[in-house]
Structure 1
């Protein structure tokens, strides 16, 4: 699955201003609940439960909170750019300002790990995080995700 396929519309790119990790997870759960017609409480519990297993911060100011959930009829991915970096218990100690939320149907887990892997691969060693941080709009951020997919496709062919 292409990275841009996870974030197909500009609405999937948010600008948020949480004060801390707990507030960020609450904002993400509220947004996801509205989009999925699912319980905000259940989504928040799933995200918090995953964070208890270990921080989903990837390093370099990026976090990937994710969970598989019963009752979802489709995956949901949201990119959030934070107005101010927040503490996220990253191994490298960097505060987080780019967040990729991924929620996946538990009953159809095929594609979940590849989707997480695709996000990580697109962000590792590339200029994409820096460019996403500088994007002036949600449309520009989405365009950058699409360009990253094309670059990945080109690298796989070569």
Structure 2
């Protein structure tokens, strides 16, 4: 299932104010619980277990916390922009202010990998990151994300169709 089918303005949180990585993951767990019907404590526990494996910070102020949950009925994708960046143990040591959360049914691991690839591809463009940081409304942020995903997909299609020299 493509991000464009999962992500809407209702999945955008602007100007969140967590004081730490732990507080952010807790806040996102509560939001995701409301959408998934799963307990926030279960989601938080799974996210923290994933973070113990290694930070899900991508660099350039972006993080993609993600996990698989058994018996999750449908994927959940959220985007949060933070008022103040938090330390997320990023390799580039940059604090994180843009966060995508992806919760996925454990029975569909391939779907999670595909969704994460879409999100990462969309976030490669520094201009998209700048636009997300300046978005005035959740509608603006959702549109920026969906445009970036579509543009990355178009770029990949063009590159795949271009013969190598």
CA RMSD of the aligned region, Å? 1.3
* Deviation readout 1:41-71 (Å, 9 max, x if unpaired): 1100000000000100000000000000012
SS for the counterpart of 2:71 is coil
Higher-Rg member (1/2): 2
Residue 121 of structure 1: how far off its partner (Å) = 1.2
- After superposition, residues 114-133 of structure 1 pair within 5 angstroms as 114-133=114-133
In terms of mean alpha carbon deviation, does 79-88 or 145-154 score higher? 145-154
SS for the counterpart of 1:90 is coil
Which residue in 2 is equivalent to 1:35? 35
The alignment's TM-score, normalised by the length of structure 1, stands at 0.93
SS for the counterpart of 2:110 is coil
Number of equivalenced pairs: 157
SS for the counterpart of 1:111 is helix
The alignment's TM-score, normalised by the length of structure 2, stands at 0.90
Distance 1:84 1:152 in 2: 28
* Deviation readout 1:4-48 (Å, 9 max, x if unpaired): 3331x2110002110000100100111111111111111000000
Maintained 8 Å contact 2:64/2:101: yes
Which residue in 2 is equivalent to 1:64? 64
* Deviation readout 1:99-133 (Å, 9 max, x if unpaired): 00000001222311111111111111441111111
Distance 2:136 2:2 in 1: 23
Q: What stretches of structure 1 of length at least 5 have no aligned partner?
A: none
Which residue in 2 is equivalent to 1:106? 106
Q: What stretches of structure 2 of length at least 5 have no aligned partner?
A: 159-165
